[in-house]
Amino acid sequence: MTRLSIPDMSCGHCRASIEGALAPLPGFRSIRFDQENRTAEVEGQVPEATLLSALDSIGFPAQILR
């Protein structure tokens, strides 16, 4: 699991865009959102750099939470 901080995520449309960008990535299994805290947990075997790049490409810069 990879925990992400996604500060610009503010609505259901944002969540749909984020999931749409990540779901096709090889190794992606699922994503769980916490909209209130603007975080997400990604299940699967997607490299962190790939996740961050995919989100950045759709206008949602993110950070890995450790």
pLDDT at site 48: 98
pLDDT at site 46: 98
Write out the two tokens for 64: 């890995």
Distances (CA, A) of 44 to 10, 11, 25: 24, 24, 10
**Comparing C-alpha atoms, which of 13, 26, 29, 12 is closest to residue 54?**
26
pLDDT at site 32: 98
Categorise residue 26: left if φ over 0, alpha if ψ from -120 to 50, beta otherwise. beta
Q: Residue 7, Cβ neighbours under 10 Å: how many?
A: 11
Q: Give the pLDDT of the chain (66 residues) as one tens digit per residue.
A: 999 999 999 999 999 999 999 999 999 999 999 999 999 999 999 999 999 999 999 999 999 999
For residue 16, the one-letter residue type is A
